[in-house]
Structure 1
Amino acid sequence: MTKAEFTILNHLYERGTERKNELPEVALTQILSDSLSYERLVGKGYIDRHSGKITAAGIQALEPYRVDNAIIMAAGASTRFVPLSLEKPKGLYEVKGKRLIDRQIEQLQEAGIKDITVVLGYKKEMFFYLKEKYQVKFIFNAAYNIKNNIESLYLARNEMKNTYICSCDNYFMDNPFHQYEYQSFYAGVTVRDRTNEMYVETDEQMRIVEMKKGKAEGLILMGHAFWQKPFASKFLELAEADRSIGMYDSLFWEWLVKDHLPELPPFYLKEYAANVIFEFDYFDELRKFDEQYIHHTQSKIISNIQSVFHCEEAKICHFRKVEEGMTNTSFIFQIDGVDYIYRHPGDGTENIINRSHEKRSLEIAKEWGFDPTYVYMDINEGWKISIYIPSFREPDYQNFDDTEKILAVLRRLHAIPVSVDYGMRPWEDALTMEELLVKKDPSCFHTFYPLKEKIGKLYQMTKADGVKKCFCHGDTYRPNWMIKADEDVILIDWEYSGYSDPGIDIGYYIVDAMYEFDQAEQFIRAYLKEDYNEQRCFHYMAYTAIIAYYWFVWAMYRESCGAIMGESLYQWYEMAKKYADHLL
């Protein structure tokens, strides 16, 4: 069957089911005026000449083009959609009176697509109502935070037939789905400006022949896709081949298609009119589309910001994602032209961080001039607001001048006459986190008992060597230092601060710099100046191992809560082992 014949039959079928065809009236008139195609269909008995309606034989002729099912990807955390995505997945936000994913499922069902699978990951439990409401199926993607949506499609491989591929956060003004589709395609629209979407070049038949980023205008991919079984099979073959390599782990599925277009079965663009398909990558885009989000977002985070600045919601704007930190997630926002940063606490941090202690430390740090960025912190929920510093650099671990700047701040910090009744105890705190880990998995720590024994021995050797406690920062790795253009130094993030052993601050800087023993000794000597001696040097070297061990156990705990620590976990393990073995 030709495409023109299919379009005529499908239109007549949908007219009989009172489904509105998405084709513009002019294009539809042109196709229906194709008398040759129409006469062929009449001749085959697919159209009744007298009534102009599709016959039973015509409906049967459409069967090879039947859409079997749909897969909706809803696993991602949508980190660009801050702050709303921190509270619930983007697909669950209500737009024009209905949740995005509900609207899409209902549109699929209206088109006759009853077999619907939803792939879940981030805050998956918030989607569970869909099963009872719509009788959908679930697939769970445990790697949603370390892999992109190719993983979701691979996990749904057993559902791949003639299948719609959908994203839960698309909004379609008109229902784009159909009972029958002629060929594999990706939806798209024409734009006249530069976007961050994937642009495509097509041939005369609208087959996609090239895909690229960064064009000034043209056809972009946006919305849903449809894969016929041969296309799905080849895509899954390519995805399977990449699983041991991971080249596409961080990329959207379109990139795999882009790189393998010649190997894949024909893939077409199905163009839609402007303002039919919407994607909301950023919160400000949603505000433009649905005005309820200008004045009443129903967001607890926005309410938190309002409570601090006593302003209308509309004043809070220009949200930008900040790369996720090791402990928390943050985003930038603006009020009256001033940028601020909002810290959203990470899952599980309530078990290892005392927020009332952190708030007291922030007040001390601001009072003594170490962190002038602090604005407000909530001790019950752990969120914090600070002034955003747009221009600064982090210290260079190999630069002597930078080292001197850092040491000057640490010497001044350790000398302030402040005593609080809390602070890091890295050895004891590591034991507490080990208990939390073992509760989750009794065997998870067995391999590390030899290292634990060495660190415990080092800790006992430091207890009576006369180094006094003082007010410390506790987390002195490079990203917490800001060296401004005027060379002023700011030290941020005081979650682990308190009255502690100064070896924590010196040792962790050494750990993060991955200094060799001679570099570490030189750093300690520069810090102690005239107070340097072998016993004190041993103390600070020992705390290098102790604090590395603390962060290693901390990283294991954070990963047990779903965070991704990457190579930092191994780096801390290696530094703890290396320095413990050297000193013992």
Structure 2
Amino acid sequence: MFPYAIEDFLFKTYGDWTTVEELNGVNEGKGTSCYRLFIGEKSFIVKKAKEKREYDVYNSLSGFFKDKKISIPSTYYTYQDRTDYWFVIEDIPHLLPKERWKGDTEQIKVLFNLHFNTWNKTLSIDKPFDFRWSKELTKRALSLLPSTLEVAIEQLHLKSETIFSPVCYISGDPNPTNWGIRNNGELVLFDWERTGYASPAIDLAITIPSLGTLDKSLEFTIASTYINFWKGVSIEFPYSIQELTEQIVIAKMWSALDFLVNNADTLEEDLLKLHITRLIEKFKVEYPDLT
């Protein structure tokens, strides 16, 4: 199941595992797999990836993140074979409870720490995720959504340029299910497959469940909390609360379109219809004169 090097490390360090669970939520079509192993009373996460970027996070950046108070799972072992990248990491015991899914201050502070400490800097990551609006995104979005949204989609495309500006390093996918809590209460961010350089708005938007609020109240609260962390530091944040709020809305709609386009072929029909219905509603609210 695992490369010999992984099995040898686990056996020599911890002993024989008793149970293996394959975890959901990974993109097996792109060569990613993830398992939870139990050895005695201890559990581990073993993950395989085709891309090197998440491997680099755990292999090279753990110390930097710890120093900057960006908590990620502890790294026990990493291994690179001819085609894949493997890592054995800490299994975070508790999920982020749903009552903390909307503008959690501690969550926003972790993202601020990440963005502030990498502002206009680069890290040792192989092939960072390419955050952009591709021609294929527009084409496939128009094949899934009503033709009456064509002008609105193009307007969103034009407005999205700012969110792709590589001003800092971002997680790329800090959705509520990618956070966990240690037994000591510490908040931990995992799943770094889409990590790269872009605007903080993308990370902030992806923390929001579904498509956010129609009146932008949650987006405004998140922008306000986030910008407060920038007060008194050595770098001046370049956007107002209102500007960041608008960027978060744009980033949320882009990420929803990106998810829809890349997962339409594998989503169950009812879930696909739900995503499409919510996007149509969001476009009608944001672009009432164009829909």
| TM-score of the alignment, normalized to the shorter chain, above 0.5 | yes
Q: Is contact 1:544–1:579 with CA below 8 Å preserved after alignment?
A: no
- Match for residue 185 of structure 2? 487
Q: Is contact 1:472–1:497 with CA below 8 Å preserved after alignment?
A: yes
Q: Is contact 2:163–2:202 with CA below 8 Å preserved after alignment?
A: no
1:371–1:447 distance in 2 versus 1, CA, 3 Å:
closer
Q: CA deviation at 1:527?
A: 1.9
Which deviates more, 498-507 or 571-580?
Answer: 571-580
- Match for residue 342 of structure 1? 46
- Match for residue 169 of structure 2? 471
Q: CA deviation at 1:382?
A: 4.3
Q: How does 1:554-565 map to 2 (within 5 A)?
A: 554-557=262-265, 559=266, 564=267
* Counterpart pick for 1:394 among 90, 96, 101: 96
SS at match of 2:35: strand
- Match for residue 242 of structure 2? 534
- Match for residue 460 of structure 1? 158
Q: CA deviation at 1:404?
A: 0.6
SS at match of 1:317: coil
Q: Which amino acid aligns with 1:403?
A: D
Q: Is contact 2:128–2:194 with CA below 8 Å preserved after alignment?
A: no
Query: C-alpha offsets along residues 14-47 of structure 1, whole Å, 9 cap, x if unaligned?
Result: xxxxxxxxxxxxxxxxxxxxxxxxxxxxxxxxxx
Q: Which amino acid aligns with 2:177?
A: P
SS at match of 2:36: strand
1:502–1:385 distance in 2 versus 1, CA, 3 Å:
same
Query: C-alpha offsets along residues 409-436 of structure 1, whole Å, 9 cap, x if unaligned?
Result: 11111112341563341422xx45788x
Q: Which amino acid aligns with 1:527?
A: Y
Q: Which amino acid aligns with 1:414?
A: H
Distance 1:480 1:322 in 2: 16
Q: Which amino acid aligns with 1:341?
A: I
- Match for residue 234 of structure 2? none
Percent identity between matched residues is: 15
Q: CA deviation at 1:499?
A: 1.1
Q: Is contact 1:427–1:459 with CA below 8 Å preserved after alignment?
A: yes
* Counterpart pick for 1:358 among 48, 54, 59: 54
SS at match of 2:207: helix
Is 1:522 aligned with 2:228? no
Q: How does 1:179-198 map to 2 (within 5 A)?
A: none
Is 1:448 aligned with 2:135? no
SS at match of 1:528: helix
Q: CA RMSD in A?
A: 3.6
1:532–1:484 distance in 2 versus 1, CA, 3 Å:
farther
1:566–1:403 distance in 2 versus 1, CA, 3 Å:
farther
Is 1:410 aligned with 2:111? yes
Q: Which amino acid aligns with 2:94?
A: F
Query: C-alpha offsets along residues 82-127 of structure 1, whole Å, 9 cap, x if unaligned?
Result: x5xxxxxxxxxxxxxxxxxxxxxxxxxxxxxxxxxxxxxxxxxxxx
Query: C-alpha offsets along residues 171-197 of structure 1, whole Å, 9 cap, x if unaligned?
Result: xxxxxxxxxxxxxxxxxxxxxxxxxxx
Q: Is contact 1:465–1:535 with CA below 8 Å preserved after alignment?
A: no
Q: Is contact 2:220–2:241 with CA below 8 Å preserved after alignment?
A: no
- Match for residue 305 of structure 1? 6
Q: Which amino acid aligns with 2:24?
A: E
Distance 2:269 2:45 in 1: 25
Q: CA deviation at 1:481?
A: 0.2
Gaps of 5+ in 1: 1-82, 84-300, 439-443
Q: Which amino acid aligns with 2:159?
A: M
Distance 1:387 1:462 in 2: 36
SS at match of 1:427: coil
SS at match of 1:475: coil
Q: Is contact 2:26–2:34 with CA below 8 Å preserved after alignment?
A: no
- Match for residue 13 of structure 1? none
1:356–1:466 distance in 2 versus 1, CA, 3 Å:
closer
Q: How does 1:205-220 map to 2 (within 5 A)?
A: none
Q: Which amino acid aligns with 1:521?
A: F
Q: Is contact 2:18–2:40 with CA below 8 Å preserved after alignment?
A: no
Q: Is contact 1:321–1:332 with CA below 8 Å preserved after alignment?
A: yes
1:567–1:312 distance in 2 versus 1, CA, 3 Å:
farther
Larger Rg: 1
Distance 1:534 1:312 in 2: 55
1:387–1:465 distance in 2 versus 1, CA, 3 Å:
closer
SS at match of 2:19: strand
Q: Is contact 2:55–2:87 with CA below 8 Å preserved after alignment?
A: no
- Match for residue 549 of structure 1? 257
SS at match of 2:218: helix
Distance 1:413 1:571 in 2: 33
Q: Which amino acid aligns with 2:87?
A: K
Q: CA deviation at 1:403?
A: 0.5
Q: Is contact 1:548–1:573 with CA below 8 Å preserved after alignment?
A: no
Query: C-alpha offsets along residues 291-337 of structure 1, whole Å, 9 cap, x if unaligned?
Result: xxxxxxxxxx2525235x17469943212324412425432224576
- Match for residue 128 of structure 2? 422
1:357–1:320 distance in 2 versus 1, CA, 3 Å:
closer
SS at match of 1:342: strand
Q: CA deviation at 1:445?
A: 6.3
SS at match of 2:98: coil
- Match for residue 236 of structure 2? none
Q: How does 1:43-62 map to 2 (within 5 A)?
A: none
Distance 1:466 1:324 in 2: 29
Q: Is contact 1:395–1:403 with CA below 8 Å preserved after alignment?
A: no
Query: C-alpha offsets along residues 53-92 of structure 1, whole Å, 9 cap, x if unaligned?
Result: xxxxxxxxxxxxxxxxxxxxxxxxxxxxxx5xxxxxxxxx
Q: Is contact 2:163–2:198 with CA below 8 Å preserved after alignment?
A: no
Distance 2:168 2:201 in 1: 10
Q: Is contact 2:35–2:46 with CA below 8 Å preserved after alignment?
A: yes
Query: C-alpha offsets along residues 375-428 of structure 1, whole Å, 9 cap, x if unaligned?
Result: 325473244322223x3231435577x701111111111112341563341422
1:313–1:526 distance in 2 versus 1, CA, 3 Å:
closer
Q: Is contact 1:415–1:470 with CA below 8 Å preserved after alignment?
A: yes
Q: CA deviation at 1:580?
A: 3.4
1:542–1:579 distance in 2 versus 1, CA, 3 Å:
farther
SS at match of 1:325: coil
Q: CA deviation at 1:566?
A: 7.0
